[in-house]
Structure 1
């Protein structure tokens, strides 16, 4: 008599969602929204540099004291960083797996290339790579100070000025912020379609919104290095 096989364990709901194409697209949309919210808040915070070192450094100190005394110094900031890192990793892994799944589904290339779609896909892919590398640089530059030769611990205003006082700091930052703009422009519309928020009537409005938001974010982020380079901030 054959031995009875054990009951197979059913995969969790999270595993089922993650394995599906729709689930991966939803993960990309949600994590993209988290990162977009972070970008908006971060851009607005960066603009505080135009009000002088006291306000900019005061804001940086306030971030490190959020939640006290329940949380210890900088705990909230590290929780936020961990959440953002998780979003970046999930977003990137889902994008990579969806690309491989898409290629496996159509091993033979299309006879007529869809130029506009291919451009958007390439922009998202390489923009994501550039931004991932920039995040590493940004942490080493303004968080740990490893690659900022003139940086001083506990003086964020002075560290920003020191960063944009170098040609390579400006080039790296400006290229990354242009990539941010292109990524937001294509990503917001794609996320809206994935979540079912974009229909035939709303497509134009979402496209205009994504382009306007991308322009505002890019201009806001680039205003800081430009201000340092022109002496407006010193």
Structure 2
């Protein structure tokens, strides 16, 4: 009996480690995508023609070896797999942690743990709801700027036209700001956590870790970078 229980514990532990690794790797794949996506969005400052040329170039990269939009679809499939893997791992680990922490009737057993401890930050507390916010935003973002099924600022035929019309609407801009702040907090905790999971963090505290500093820089740069074009469109008439 003891041997069977030990095997079950070992199997559960290995499964948890695998989930953490898959969450870290899938998260880093998404960070790489976000950096490239932000770079593309900043093309808006070069003008409508430059932005539209960039958007069209994404669809022709690799041709004629690949079909039209071939590489773009490869990126989409890889990104979708990363998102699904990340979400599955996050939900599974959250359920296991909740069970292990001793929640009964949605209430945790009494603890004297310092909730403001070194290994916990505001970003880590908001990871779950931040993830939900980001997921909802991704759905809207795809329906709005990719498939053009939703066009709150009016329908447009060009990539820049879609971007410009969308963010002339102040309510869309507000929702976008909320989503990008959620992304920033998610990145702050997630980027550091990913490298910690992969065994690259050797600092005694989070605040002393170079990966924590890198996480803050990545989060700030991406948040500002993504907010810059919509803010310039709404408040400064970029491309108007």
Scaled to the shorter chain, the TM-score interval is 0.7 to 0.9
CA distances 1:105-159 after superposition (whole Å, capped 9, x unpaired): 2215351244232744331111111111111000000011111151223x00111
Separation in structure 2 between the aligned mates of residue 64 and residue 89 of structure 1, nearest angstrom: 24
Q: Which runs of 5+ in 1 are unaligned?
A: 1-15
Partner of 1:109: 109
Q: Please say if residues 43 and 217 of structure 1, whose CA atoms lie closer than 8 Å, have aligned partners that are also in contact.
A: yes
Separation in structure 2 between the aligned mates of residue 87 and residue 31 of structure 1, nearest angstrom: 5
TM-score (norm 2): 0.85
2:122 equivalent to 1:122: no
**Residue of structure 2 aligned with 1:73, choices 37, 47, 68:** 68
Separation in structure 2 between the aligned mates of residue 233 and residue 29 of structure 1, nearest angstrom: 38
Q: Which runs of 5+ in 2 are unaligned?
A: 1-10, 103-107
141 and 101 in structure 1: CA distance in 2 versus 1, 3 angstrom threshold: same
Number of residue-to-residue matches in the alignment:
218
2:213 equivalent to 1:208: yes
**Residue of structure 2 aligned with 1:152, choices 153, 156, 165:** 156
Q: Please say if residues 51 and 159 of structure 2, whose CA atoms lie closer than 8 Å, have aligned partners that are also in contact.
A: yes
36 and 212 in structure 1: CA distance in 2 versus 1, 3 angstrom threshold: same
SS in structure 2 opposite 1:41? helix
- C-alpha displacement of 1:221: 0.6
2:191 equivalent to 1:185: no
**Residue of structure 2 aligned with 1:219, choices 212, 216, 224:** 224
Q: Please say if residues 48 and 239 of structure 2, whose CA atoms lie closer than 8 Å, have aligned partners that are also in contact.
A: no
- C-alpha displacement of 1:17: 9.9
SS in structure 2 opposite 1:140? helix
- C-alpha displacement of 1:233: 3.4
Partner of 1:3: none
Separation in structure 1 between the aligned mates of residue 218 and residue 56 of structure 2, nearest angstrom: 28
Q: Please say if residues 202 and 209 of structure 2, whose CA atoms lie closer than 8 Å, have aligned partners that are also in contact.
A: no
SS in structure 1 opposite 2:68? coil
Separation in structure 2 between the aligned mates of residue 140 and residue 46 of structure 1, nearest angstrom: 17
- C-alpha displacement of 1:204: 2.6
Separation in structure 2 between the aligned mates of residue 37 and residue 17 of structure 1, nearest angstrom: 30
Q: Please say if residues 156 and 165 of structure 2, whose CA atoms lie closer than 8 Å, have aligned partners that are also in contact.
A: no
